[in-house]
């Protein structure tokens, strides 16, 4: 019995890294497997671990992320789409799993190292350290077997498999399935400004990413200003030309062509010519998503209703599984 579970943080509007790294994989699976269990969460409990937006911004981010997922093709009739904080069992299971995990191991994770950098010493919130434990609870609460996520989550997925294993071993049960990571064929999309960093919703610069709600003019301006180099021809080499290679890889994700095919097609184009082709492609793909996104954002009532219905369905499963966990642990 396959259970697909994944989550995305309401820290902004989805960008093309989220889209190619995760959302597209989800939608392909959703549409190809009408019968399997598919649970997708807008993980608002995670979103407050890196910033504490005020309440109206938080609500707005939840609406935008949900509208973004729907605009990309998540179908609430096929996917249980829900809001994490409305299912309190996530936090409860996180607490139980937290006792199976060491702080040292959590502090070694690359995402923790990266995200804790912005705090001065002694100021890192507990939530940021325990983030991957909550992430493990998210999946295990539904006895998830498959987790579609971007490649940047691979260390967290190892930790998740480890926690599931340690729990089973400690209590001598075969309770949690060991979840498998499902990655997309597209590589990790890098920031348009710094190819050493991945594209991120929470990066302060708008110009580092292409968002699914960007206007045609914004897409054009961002691609024009994307980092390239002084070599006028188009070649694919991450070592020496990371900026241009990222643009090639984005073009290749939009068109479903390999980077080699893209390079062959771009023979004779200089960097600006290639950027123009990328601008046209990005606009052709993003404009229809943006239109749906804007319509959905105008109907907030519908968005909250989708989340409420999804949360009710998710909660039914969560309550049952957590009750079993409590039995295993000896709480009842």
User: Is residue 115 annotated as a catalytic residue, yes or no?
Assistant: yes
Nearer CB in complex with ligand ATP: 152/213: 152
Minimum distance between the CB of residue 172 and ligand ATP, rounded to whole angstroms?
A: 33
Residue 277 in tokens? 């082709």
Asked whether 331 and 105 are in contact (CB, 8 A), the reply is no
| Maximum distance among all Cα pairs of the chain, rounded to whole angstroms | 71
Nearer CB in complex with ligand ATP: 89/152: 152
Residue 184 in tokens? 């997309």
Residue 69 in tokens? 């997922």
By CB under 6 A, residue 149 contacts ligand ATP: yes
Q: Considering only CA atoms, which of 184, 190, 112 is closest in space to residue 155?
A: 112
Nearer CB in complex with ligand ATP: 201/275: 201
**153-172 positions binding ligand ATP, by CB under 6 A:** 153
User: Is residue 193 annotated as a catalytic residue, yes or no?
Assistant: no
**Helix boundaries (H) for the chain:** 16-18, 24-32, 44-47, 55-72, 89-98, 103-107, 110-116, 126-140, 154-171, 216-224, 242-255, 259-265, 271-297, 300-329
By CB under 6 A, residue 79 contacts ligand ATP: no
Return the number of other C-beta atoms located less than 10 Å from residue 281's C-beta.
17
Nearer CB in complex with ligand ATP: 37/84: 84
The DSSP-derived string for 297-314 is HT-HHHHHHHHHHHHHHH
Minimum distance between the CB of residue 317 and ligand ATP, rounded to whole angstroms?
A: 21
Minimum distance between the CB of residue 96 and ligand ATP, rounded to whole angstroms?
A: 24
Residue nearest to ligand ATP (CB): 21
Given the rule CB under 6 A, which of 82-90, 124-132, 149-157, 247-255 is the region that contacts ligand ATP? 149-157
Element housing 230 (H / E):
none
User: Is residue 113 annotated as a catalytic residue, yes or no?
Assistant: no
By CB under 6 A, residue 144 contacts ligand ATP: no
Please state, in angstroms and as integers, the Cα–Cα distance from residue 250 to each residue in 65, 104, 274, following that order. 22, 36, 12
Among candidate residues 78, 115, 313, 326, the one labeled active-site is: 115
Q: For the window 2-41, what string marks contact with ligand ATP as x by the rule CB under 6 A? A: ------xx-x-----xx--xx-------------------
Contacts with ligand ATP by CB under 6 A: the residue count is 18
**175-204 positions binding ligand ATP, by CB under 6 A:** 188-189, 198-202
Which 3 state secondary structure label does DSSP give 42? strand
Nearer CB in complex with ligand ATP: 202/323: 202
Minimum distance between the CB of residue 67 and ligand ATP, rounded to whole angstroms?
A: 15
Which 3 state secondary structure label does DSSP give 86? helix
Q: Considering only CA atoms, which of 200, 211, 193, 201 is closest in space to residue 282?
A: 211
Query: What does the alpha-carbon distance between residue 237 and residue 218 come to, in Å, rounded to a whole number?
Result: 27
Return the number of other C-beta atoms located less than 10 Å from residue 165's C-beta.
13
**250-269 positions binding ligand ATP, by CB under 6 A:** none
Minimum distance between the CB of residue 128 and ligand ATP, rounded to whole angstroms?
A: 11
Minimum distance between the CB of residue 199 and ligand ATP, rounded to whole angstroms?
A: 4
List residues near ligand ATP by CB under 6 A. Answer: 8-9, 11, 17-18, 21-22, 149-150, 152-153, 188-189, 198-202
Active site residues: 115, 198, 201
């Amino acid at each position: 019995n396959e259970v697909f579970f994944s989550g995305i943080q309401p820290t902004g509007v989805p960008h093309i890294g989220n889209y190619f790294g995760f959302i597209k994989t989800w939608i392909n699976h959703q549409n190809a497997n009408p019968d399997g269990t598919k649970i997708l969460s807008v993980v608002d409990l995670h979103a407050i671990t890196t910033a504490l937006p005020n309440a109206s911004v938080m609500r707005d981010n939840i609406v935008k992320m949900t509208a973004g997922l729907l605009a990309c093709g998540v179908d609430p009739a096929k996917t249980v789409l829900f809001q994490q904080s409305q299912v309190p069992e996530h936090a409860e299971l996180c607490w139980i799993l937290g006792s199976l995990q060491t702080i040292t191991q959590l502090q070694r994770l690359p995402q923790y190292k990266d995200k804790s950098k912005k705090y001065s010493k002694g100021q890192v919130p507990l939530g940021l350290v325990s983030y991957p434990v909550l992430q493990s609870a998210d999946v295990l609460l539904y006895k998830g077997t498959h987790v579609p996520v971007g490649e940047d989550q691979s260390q967290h997925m190892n930790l998740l498999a480890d926690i599931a294993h340690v729990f089973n071993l400690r209590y001598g049960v075969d309770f949690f399935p060991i979840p498998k990571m499902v990655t997309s064929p597209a590589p990790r999309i890098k920031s348009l400004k710094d190819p050493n960093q991945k594209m991120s919703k929470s990066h302060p610069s708008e110009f580092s990413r292409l968002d699914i709600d960007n206007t045609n003019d914004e897409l054009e301006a961002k691609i024009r200003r994307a980092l390239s180099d002084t070599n006028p021809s188009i070649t694919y080499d991450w070592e020496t030309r990371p900026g241009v290679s990222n643009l090639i890889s984005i073009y290749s994700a939009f068109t479903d062509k390999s980077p080699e095919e893209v390079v062959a097609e771009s023979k004779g184009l200089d960097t600006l010519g290639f950027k123009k082709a990328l601008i046209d492609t990005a606009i052709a793909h993003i404009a229809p998503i943006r239109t749906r996104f804007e319509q959905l954002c105008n109907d907030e009532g519908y968005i909250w209703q989708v989340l409420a219905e999804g949360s009710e369905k998710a909660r039914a499963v969560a309550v049952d599984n957590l009750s079993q966990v409590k039995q295993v642990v000896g709480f009842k």
